[in-house]
Chains A and B, each alone.
Chain A
Amino acid sequence: MLDWVNIAVPPAPALFGQLLIGLINGAFYAMLSLGLAVIFGLLNIINFAHGALYMLGAFCAYLLLNFFGIGYWPSLIIAPIVVGAFGMALERLFIRHVYKLDHLYGLLLTFGMALIIEGLFRQKYGVAGQTYSIPEALSGGQNLGFMFLPNYRAWVIVASTFFCFGTWFIIERTRLGAYLRAATENPVLVQAFGINVPRMITLTYGFGVGLAALAGVMAAPIYQVSPLMGSNLIIVVFAVVVIGGMGSILGAIVSGFALGVIEGLTKVFYPEASATAIFAIMVVVLLVKPAGLFGRRA
């Protein structure tokens, strides 16, 4: 009974705090859905291995620290490169064979890969999470008056905003991005202009995977580094991408942040529904605007 009185209307400062936390969680959604959107938009692959690759990023940071003594900051660069290279190998060896087939094949292939990767890590590390500490420079936090903001979370939001809009800028506003977009429209024609399209596609996949790994490294100090961390997140991220519009870069970013905030508010007003709120929104969006909020009709 008492609980109802408590959650009825939180005071305004409390709400600011929750909005900010929503934005931080949204930052993770945005980074992951962005990678998915890039891969889908340019490769036409529904990359179900994305969650496993995010997990690999976190584990990569963990292993770098425990076996080589390499800390958080170098890991931010090394882990995405290592995992990205692994992703490119997967693309070369397996994924490129299903480009011409129905989406379903790519989905099943990457889903299978995810199961294998997660299974291997579960075998080795079990499901209890490994610890990864917050880097010294970012420990502690600021008292903002309405809430205590840990420095690390502030860093997450700044960094991910930077990476998200950087990616958007490269793809939508630079010559390289123009090549990429052209190659997905008409690969034969672009190849005729002397551009190595298969290599560009491999690099794009590697880039998308690298983004997932980067999100994994950033998540490592907050959550447990666990083989299941990706599969817990991937379904939500897919919902985010569907809401934003499959393949839409800007849609992925905006809906990532927005849904983080909406989920955050659900956690205040009706926490029991916080795990389902995003899916309810997805249903509504699919009914009203099947291509997603920012999607173009295929």
Chain B
Amino acid sequence: MKLHSLITAASVAVLLGAVYAPGAYADGKTVKIGVLNDMSSVYSYLGGMGSVAAAQMAVKDFGGKVLGKPIEIVYADHQNKPDVGVAIASKWFDEDGVDAILDLPTSSVAIAVQKVAQDRGKVDIISNGGSSELTNKYCSPTGVHWTYDTYQLAHVIGGAVVKQGGKSWFFITADYAFGHQLQDDTAAVVKAAGGTIVGSVNVPLNNADFSSFLLQAQQSKAQIIGLANAGGDTVNSIKQASEFGIVQGGQRLAGLLVFIADVDALGLKTAQGLLLSESYYWDQNDQTRAFAKKFEAAYNGKVPTSGQAGVYTAVMHYLKAMEAAKTEDGAKVVAQMRAMPINDFMTKNGKLRIDGRVIRDVYLFQVKKPEESKYPYDYYKQLAVVPGDQAFRPLSESECPLVKK
């Protein structure tokens, strides 16, 4: 076979995926909010068009206008590539008059776009992105990390598992920034609580077959197999772990980043017993249920993920702050966001810290057994509420230059 045929095919694929950001015009007469996320690939089911729907709902619920100007939502697909994300963000800020960019899953893209926003004094609010470095080494005065981060996941889940007696750990880790960070954060928690790390294996991203790695985990005799990965990788590793009788063999899985959409993809029979940490679950109280119902009506009957709920509440808080600050200026609006307590269906008395981290209570859930689930999406049992000041990195440990010590 001719090799250049393959090369041609590859170039065609790249061309077809070229940057596409639908129309937006800078006229100063509208306030523009851009939703930038993965619309077509591995993480699109966590945010994707659902995040756009959530942002549009927030604008509608806010009344459609702020500072007397209409609010417009634009959106684009960053394809999980930092260069694509930077190109779209620059165009949005420089030419299209976008005031804030939201969602930003895939930490590598989020870090890059946060820098673009910071250089221009524009706002970025990260909902689906995870790396805790976004509010640590890479913190920005106009950057906000809204929904969750790796530090919190590690502390809530790692802490709970060790407390239940899971002292020895083996990690199956996605081989990129996010996975390594999640592993390091969790390992620190495990060791601090008196546990040990007996081994780990770095798996290339988007790997279909985990049997070999699961076998290594099995032979390590660790009590807990920590999955420092996300999305399809997590789903496949959990599914295959059940096939290889990992849980029956006495070992337990700890999915460090599991969303409700993953549980849905796994089915309760496979996912039962998993521990996970989220800042929003649709079936917590009347307010969370009301949002879920509204979201389902707006978005193909799908239950909102915590990242999508985060986009809604972030847009709300941003618009409220803008109204109160009486300006579109990024730095001033974010300062106002810090000054105002955050109160909505997923946050009670939350606050935005100087490093950009939103502090709120987060929850430890366990996935129900199939027989415990009574209606569609009845998936989680709440085990604990972890107060925000215990779940997130304390400012005393922060490397963020904005934090004065």
- From A21-29, A172-180, A190-198, A203-211, give the one contacting chain B: A21-29
Majority SS at the chain A contact face: helix
A2's partner among B199, B215, B243 (CB-CB below 8 A) is B199
Task: Give min CB distance, A113 to chain B, whole Å.
Answer: 13
Complex interface residues of chain A between 36 and 73 (CB less than 8 A to chain B): 40, 46, 48
Task: Give min CB distance, B2 to chain A, whole Å.
Answer: 6
Asked if A10 and B5 make an inter-chain contact with CB atoms under 8 angstroms apart, the answer reads no
Known: A6-B199, A128-B45. A24 touches B175 (CB 8 A): no
Q: Does B12 contact A (CB under 8 A)?
A: yes
Q: What is the count of residue pairs linking A and B with beta-carbon distances less than 8 angstroms? A: 145
Q: Does B372 contact A (CB under 8 A)?
A: no
A224's partner among B8, B48, B232 (CB-CB below 8 A) is B232
Known: A3-B199, A148-B249, A242-B1. A275 touches B207 (CB 8 A): yes
Known: A6-B220, A272-B202. A21 touches B240 (CB 8 A): no
Complex interface residues of chain B between 265 and 313 (CB less than 8 A to chain A): 265-267, 269-270
- Give a binary string over B195-221; 1 marks a CB under 8 Å from any A CB, 0 the rest: 001111111101111011101101110
Q: Does B245 contact A (CB under 8 A)?
A: yes
Known: A24-B211, A271-B201. A111 touches B265 (CB 8 A): no
Known: A2-B198, A229-B208. A127 touches B40 (CB 8 A): yes
Which residues of B are found within 8 Å of A111, using beta-carbon distances? Answer: 9, 12-13
Complex interface residues of chain A between 195 and 226 (CB less than 8 A to chain B): 222-224, 226
Task: Give min CB distance, A132 to chain B, whole Å.
Answer: 10
Asked if B202 and A21 make an inter-chain contact with CB atoms under 8 angstroms apart, the answer reads no
Which residues of B are found within 8 Å of A25, using beta-carbon distances? Answer: 209, 211
Asked if A267 and B212 make an inter-chain contact with CB atoms under 8 angstroms apart, the answer reads yes
Bound complex: CA of A11 vs CA of B200, how far in Å?
17
Asked if A222 and B199 make an inter-chain contact with CB atoms under 8 angstroms apart, the answer reads no
Which residues of B are found within 8 Å of A286, using beta-carbon distances? Answer: 3
Asked if B218 and A148 make an inter-chain contact with CB atoms under 8 angstroms apart, the answer reads yes
Q: Number of A interface residues, CB 8 Å? A: 59
Q: Does B381 contact A (CB under 8 A)?
A: no
A141's partner among B5, B42, B202, B244 (CB-CB below 8 A) is B244
Q: Does B236 contact A (CB under 8 A)?
A: yes
Q: Number of B interface residues, CB 8 Å? A: 54
- From A75-83, A100-108, A158-166, give the one contacting chain B: A100-108
Task: Give min CB distance, B325 to chain A, whole Å.
Answer: 38
Asked if A272 and B265 make an inter-chain contact with CB atoms under 8 angstroms apart, the answer reads no
B interface list, Cβ under 8 A from A? 1-3, 5-6, 8-9, 12-13, 16, 40-42, 44-45, 48, 175, 197-204, 206-209, 211-213, 215-216, 218-220, 232, 235-236, 239-240, 243-245, 249, 261-262, 264-267, 269-270
Q: Other CB < 8 Å A-B pairs besides A141-B245, A222-B243, 17 of them? A: A3-B201, A21-B215, A103-B1, A104-B8, A108-B9, A126-B45, A131-B266, A131-B270, A134-B243, A148-B218, A222-B209, A224-B235, A224-B239, A228-B42, A228-B232, A238-B6, A268-B212
7 residue pairs from A and B, CB less than 8 Å apart? A7-B201, A103-B1, A108-B12, A129-B265, A141-B245, A241-B1, A271-B201
A interface list, Cβ under 8 A from B? 2-3, 6-7, 10-11, 14, 17-18, 21-22, 24-25, 40, 46, 48, 103-104, 107-108, 111, 115, 122, 126-131, 133-134, 140-141, 147-148, 150, 152-153, 222-224, 226, 228-229, 232-233, 238, 241-242, 246, 264, 267-268, 271-272, 274-276, 286
